[in-house]
Amino acid sequence: MGKILLTGGAGYIGSHTYVELKAAGHEVVIIDNFSNARKDVIDRLAQITDSPVLVHEGDVLDKAFLATVFASHDFDAVIHFAAKKAVGESVEKPLEYFETNCTGFSTLLMAMKEAGVFRVVFSSTATVYGEPLSLPYTEDHRIAPVSPYAQSKVTCETLLKHLKEADDRWTYGVLRYFNPAGAHDSALIGEDPNDIPNNLMPYIAKVATGELPQLTVFGDDYNTPDGTGVRDYIHVVDLAQGHVQSVDKLIYDNSTHILNLGTGTGYSVFDMLRAYEKACQKPLAYTVGPRRAGDIDCFYADPASAREILGFEARRGLDDMCRTSWNWVSRLRNV
């Protein structure tokens, strides 16, 4: 087993990945600046894994902080989650997105190189593909980022490519996420956005708890079966397990890979709404509004490469995502 550093390990996907890495027998250390995560996540991770959590509070942009972390531990690999990830916000704040997502990543890679750590799993996104030329998205689909967020992820992927060309000691896994959703079965960790959510499931969750009055469906005139947007939602625990398989591929096979992490199945906004009503056992109010700028009709993954290369299979469906999300938010909000 290895010793793994998780940057942004207190976040939504990072915390779920922490649990799966520990279950797989790895030693894990978290660094997080807690800009988008609550500190009590750490106590809940300790509760789920029944073991103390090694965490250092700090920022990937802080060279001195990273140097102390790498001096304190002999890591076999790093999984890099620490980044900003809201498409809309990136349009308003491109500079902050490039500083955190690109400069943060290059600062981390420099610290890794100085510490002699050359294995990294990078958290990327399906939005690097842009408007689909064909569906499902395969990993060789044209890369055409539209938002500053997506461009920042393409920049990081390109940096990794050039880094390995320059120094073959590097080996990396790029994981292009589709739409993460759901929560841990324990209902002790899950998605907990600070403000009004951009994403569909956390928004519906706040309607279900009564924190928000109704969902606005962003358009019902798309070229899809029920007219609403179709996406490939993947359970966050499946996604986390994909990270374990990816980092194991680096440690045991030294094999670089760039893979979609999705289910291959698309669900509409109305599919999600109905599934959530079933999970929370109550009707959820909604209204149909105008399309959201930048949204596209439909996208979903071809998951074949992740299955062939990692043995990755998403095993949880939309009902699991809604059930675990509802268990999490209803416990969190005492409803």
- Told to check if 205 binds ligand WQD by CB under 6 A, we report no
Distance in Å, CB of 228 to ligand WQD, minimum: 6
Distance in Å, CB of 99 to ligand WQD, minimum: 18
Q: Which is nearer to ligand WQD, 126 or 309 (CB)?
A: 126
- Told to check if 198 binds ligand WQD by CB under 6 A, we report yes
- Told to check if 231 binds ligand WQD by CB under 6 A, we report yes
- Told to check if 55 binds ligand WQD by CB under 6 A, we report no
**Kindly report the CA angle at 310 between 307 and 316, in degrees rounded to 5?**
55
Q: How far is CA 253 from CA 29, 174, 249, 259, 324, in A?
A: 22, 15, 5, 16, 34
**Which of residues 229, 242, 262, 303 is near ligand WQD by CB under 6 A?**
229
The answer to whether the CB of 234 falls within 8 A of the CB of 261 is yes
**Kindly report the CA angle at 29 between 62 and 85, in degrees rounded to 5?**
60
- Told to check if 218 binds ligand WQD by CB under 6 A, we report yes
CA distance 57 to 70: 14
Per-residue binding string, ligand WQD, 263-292, x by CB under 6 A, is: ------x----------------------x
**Which of residues 36, 100, 199, 246 is near ligand WQD by CB under 6 A?**
199
Q: Provide the b/e sequence for 145-164 (b: ≥16 CB within 10 Å).
A: bbbbbbbbbbebbeebeebe
Residue 130 sits at φ, ψ, to 5 deg, of 70, -155
Distance in Å, CB of 127 to ligand WQD, minimum: 4
SS3 at position 183? coil
Active site residue 97: no
The answer to whether the CB of 111 falls within 8 A of the CB of 70 is yes
SS3 at position 83? coil
Of 97, 137, 149, 172, the catalytic one is: 149
Q: How many residues bind ligand WQD (CB under 6 A)?
A: 19
Distance in Å, CB of 289 to ligand WQD, minimum: 8
Q: Which is nearer to ligand WQD, 118 or 312 (CB)?
A: 312
CA distance 70 to 5: 9
Q: Which is nearer to ligand WQD, 198 or 305 (CB)?
A: 198
- Residues involved in catalysis: 149
Interface residue list for ligand WQD (CB under 6 A) = 85, 87, 125, 127, 177, 179, 198-200, 203, 215-218, 229, 231, 269, 292, 295
